[in-house]
Structure 1
């Protein structure tokens, strides 16, 4: 906190600081920085009231729930895609012959121009 105070002394244009999820003070807000302090609060050593901390915790819980829902949705999507991949792989497998061995590959066909040359 002392380093932050020293930094703010040299930067009078900074009015607010925000605590990010890593416990670092940053100077631009976003949804990941739920705790905010004013310049005066930092300089006076004022600590955020417990209510602010509780709000931040609740905000992080909501975000965590949302992320857990997203992870579950992605896992379901992954399983569906894997099933589709498995079905496509099974369809691409060579057909089995009568004795259970793979059917022989089809003879490649020659272009008509090559057949004509052989006949002449």
Structure 2
């Protein structure tokens, strides 16, 4: 009985934290996270990047966090325009990164510990 009550409270807390947004607020937040992703391109995607390993790992973690935030916002606001597409795209990226990291014996939580800027 106590376990059922604890589980119910846990689910209620998670539900209460869901961030339901207006279309305008959703679009603004998606734009913010998309800008973060764009900012990492010169460090991670340019063949002649002069970024060192520390800058690259920070940029990777910033990009990963941005995709995680896009997925979270899109999941919580599935009824909004483009949310399903943004969720599909962000989850695709996150799954590829998870496969890559786990293939090398790493997790994103360990790799990015202390690197996510808020």
Query: When the two structures are superposed, what TM-score results if normalisation uses the length of structure 2?
Result: 0.28
Query: When the two structures are superposed, what TM-score results if normalisation uses the length of structure 1?
Result: 0.28
Task: Compare the two structures and name the one with the higher helix fraction.
Answer: 2
Task: Compare the two structures and name the one with the higher strand fraction.
Answer: 1
